[in-house]
Amino acid sequence: MTRGGSTMRLRALVRKEFLQILRDPSSIAIAFVMPIVLLLLFGYGVSLDAKNVPVALVIDQPSADTASFSSAFYATDYFKPITLRNMQHAEIALLAGEVDGIVHLRADFGRDLRHAGGAPVQVIVNGVNANTGRLVLGYVNGVWSTWLQHQAEMRGGTLDVPVQVEQRVWFNSELRSRNFLVPGLIAIIMTLIGALLTALVVAREWERGTFEALMVTPVSITELMLGKMIPYFVLGTGSMLLSVVMALYLFDVPLRGSFWVLWLGSSLFLLVALGMGMLISTVTKNQFLAAQVAIIVTFLPAFLLSGFIFEIASMPTVVQIITHIIPARYFVALLQTLFLAGDVWSVILPNALALLLMAIVFFVLVWRKSRKRLE
């Protein structure tokens, strides 16, 4: 086959694929509508910060002290307190899920406060959601110590604490979970677009018998593969750009690394995802099966094991080892670093290298699995 013929064939395949993308609303939907929906959903809907947590303040005997203490709860954003007079009512509210915690000030709160032993405050937290439970506990402590300091200053002294913690939060100084969720989400979106979309469109060609007709033309396997890769690489880059623009301008996530490194890293990951998609569809040759397999072996692991939401370091060792074969893990690390920290080469280079290796492995597999044969 001449080189000119090869270019002509490849161009024809790519043009065909683009025409199909334009005419088939489902690929457009996956590439552009899905990122928007997912980003809005996760950007606004999912927040790992606890804000306006409903708590019950049970005050057995109101006094100036209890009023000043409870006003500290009313003043902060973290709590949405209701004041009750009766512990039983509070317990019912906790059981009913109306409040996530109870702060109980006993009748002798005012008196004990001025004694050497101090005033005990009972805090009951709903621990069903361990994460929220821990946060509520922490926040109550925070409110409590701030109030104590305030009280001390009012009395003209300082609170005598032997160790002072000076907190500095790096990279995400406001501790906004969105800043950390949105970059990770981009990895999930890319996984879906790269793997699911290619898996579906290649399997579709098997199902409709179009591949059988293509195979008996002078087209080569490499041309067929490139003919699929190029259009979906372009489409994937498009949705990557859309996601980045949304992250920067809608969610105000900072981009501290350079745009070009981000682009290169994403391209690498896109190649891996496309490779996975091609491999799945080459093996299954059936749209339904391809979709199932793509979701189970690419999307779910990327969601659960990439460190996008769930911290890898706190997983059991075995699971931590498994995360190393999840490509999204490296991309999440890359994205979080690039968005929040900057061009930290010591993080970027090993992760990029891992992605490159995976891309090579998948393409070798795809190339070996595809022959111009039906069996």
Partner 1 sequence: MKTAMRDRDENNSTEAALELNAVSKTFTSGKRIIQALDGISARISLGCITGLIGSDGAGKTTLMRLAAGLLLTDSGQMKVLGRDVATEALAIQAMLGYMPQRFGLYEDLSVQENLDLYADLQGLPLAERPSRYAELMHMTGLATFTRRLAGQLSGGMKQKLGLACTLVRSPQLLLLDEPTVGVDPVSRRELWAIIERQVESTQMSVLLSTAYLDEAERCAEVLLLHEGKLLSQGPPAEFSNRLKGRTYSLSATGLTKRELQRRLSRAPGVLDALIQGEHVRLVMTNHEPPDVKHMLLGIEGVELSAVPPRFEDSFVEMLGINTPKYPVSDSHTSVKPITGGAAIEVQDLTRCFGKFVAVDSVSFNVGRGEVFGLLGANGAGKTTTFRMLCGLLPVSSGRASVAGVDLHQAAATARARIGYMSQRFSLYGQFSVIQNLRFFGSAYGLNGVHRQSRIDWALQEFGLASEVDSNSDALSLGYRQRLSMACALLHEPEILFLDEPTSGVDPLARREFWRRINTLAEQGVTVLVTTHFMEEAEYCDRLAIMAAGRILVLGSPAEIKTKAQTVSQPTPTLEDAFIRLIQPSTELQA
Contact segment (CB under 8 A) with partner 1 among 7-15, 71-79, 132-140, 348-356 equals 7-15
Q: Which one of 51, 208, 324, 369 is in contact with partner 1 (CB under 8 A)?
A: 208
Q: Does 8 bind partner 1 (CB under 8 A)?
A: yes
Contact with partner 1 (CB under 8 A) among 78, 211, 330, 331:
211
Residues that contact partner 1, how many (by CB under 8 A)? 31
What is d(CA 271, CA 299) in angstroms, rounded to the nearest whole number?
15
Going by C-alpha positions, the residue among 78, 337, 73 that lies closest to residue 186 is 337
Piece in contact with partner 1 (CB under 8 A), picked from 177-185, 201-209, 314-322, 323-331: 201-209
Q: What is the Cα–Cα distance from 332 to 135, expressed in whole angstroms?
A: 25
129 is a site residue for partner 1 (CB under 8 A): no
Least gap, CB of 239 to partner 1 (angstroms) = 21
Length of the chain: 375
β-sheet bridge partners, residue 122: 104
Q: Residues near 263 by Cβ (< 8 Å), separated by ≥ 6?
A: none
| CB closer to partner 1, 4 vs 117 | 4
Q: What phi and psi, each to the nearest 5 degrees, are found at residue 50?
A: -95, 120
Q: Can you read off the two tokens belonging to residue 349?
A: 């280079």
Tell me whether strands 53-59 and 101-105 are parallel, antiparallel or unpaired. parallel
User: Is 5 a residue that touches partner 1 (CB under 8 A)?
Assistant: yes
Residue 368 interacts with partner 1 (CB under 8 A): yes or no: no
369 near partner 1 (CB under 8 A): no
Structure-block tokens of residue 293: 């397999």
Q: How far apart are CA 276 and CA 191, in angstroms?
A: 9
Told to check if 31 binds partner 1 by CB under 8 A, we report: no
Nearer to partner 1, 2 or 167 (CB): 2
Q: How far is CA 15 from the centre of its chain?
A: 35
Helices 259-284, 345-369: axis angle to 10 degrees equals 20
Spatial separation of the C-alpha atoms in residues 237 and 263, rounded to whole Å: 9
Q: Which is closer to partner 1, CB of 144 or CB of 367?
A: 367
Rounded to a whole number of angstroms, the minimum distance from the CB of residue 297 to partner 1 is 25
Candidates 178, 188, 135; CA nearest to 44 is 178
Look-up: residue for tokens 């004041």? 83
Q: Which two tokens stand for residue 324?
A: 């190393």
CB of 2: closest distance to partner 1 in angstroms?
8
Among 103, 219, 305, 332, binds partner 1 (CB under 8 A): 219
For 305, how many CA atoms within 13 A lie in the half-sphere containing its CB? 18
Q: Is 368 or 373 the residue whose CB approaches partner 1 more closely? A: 373
Q: How far apart are CA 185 and CA 96, in angstroms?
A: 34
Q: Is 221 in the site for partner 1 (CB under 8 A)?
A: no
Q: State the minimum distance, in angstroms, from the CB of residue 372 to partner 1.
A: 7
**Residue 111 touching partner 1 (CB under 8 A):** no
Choose one: 6-14, 70-78, 91-99, 352-360; the region binding partner 1 (CB under 8 A): 6-14
372 is an interface residue for partner 1 by CB under 8 A: yes
3 binds partner 1, rule: CB under 8 A: no
Cβ-based nearer residue to partner 1, 11 or 134: 11
Among 64, 313, 318, 374, binds partner 1 (CB under 8 A): 374
* Region of residue 252 (left: phi > 0; alpha: psi -120 to 50; beta: else): left
Distance, in Å, from the CA atom of 255 to the CA atom of 251, rounded to the nearest integer, reads 11
- Return the number of the residue (204 or 256) whose C-beta is nearest partner 1: 204
- Under the binding rule (CB under 8 A), the answer on residue 218 touching partner 1 is yes
Stretch that binds partner 1, among 82-90, 216-224, 342-350, 353-361 (CB under 8 A): 216-224
The C-alpha atoms of residue 125 and residue 139 are separated, in whole angstroms, by 11
List 96, 130, 216, 318, residue binding partner 1 (CB under 8 A): 216
Using CB under 8 A, list all residues that contact partner 1: 1-2, 5, 8-9, 11-13, 15-16, 19-20, 23-24, 205, 208-219, 372-375
